[in-house]
Amino acid sequence: MVEELDRDSRATSTEVGGTVKDGAVTLAGTFKTSSGKSAAEQTARKVKSVKVIAENIQVVMTLATIPSGEAAAERITGILQ
């Protein structure tokens, strides 16, 4: 599981940890953006032996990570499409 996270540049094992037991994965960690959280979940789903994901990931945004102006408008437009 950790190897899979390390291959995905959107979510690394330094930000999130994963344990696997009997096909159940528990993800835990903190990201600055929701895209990192989503990437970790998507990566876990790709592992063939994973049947269930328990997610304990927090998104802690700082002022530096909150988009503003044109970047915010583009992001909102993308979400609404």
pTM (2 decimals)? 0.62
State pLDDT tens for residues 3-28: 776 676 676 556 787 788 899 989 98
CA distances from 39 to 22, 33, 69 (A): 22, 10, 25
Q: Which domain holds residue 48?
A: 2-80
CATH number of the domain enclosing 36? 3.30.70
Q: What pLDDT does 7 receive?
A: 72
Domain count, the chain: 1
**Which phi and psi angles does 59 have, rounded to 5°?**
-110, 115
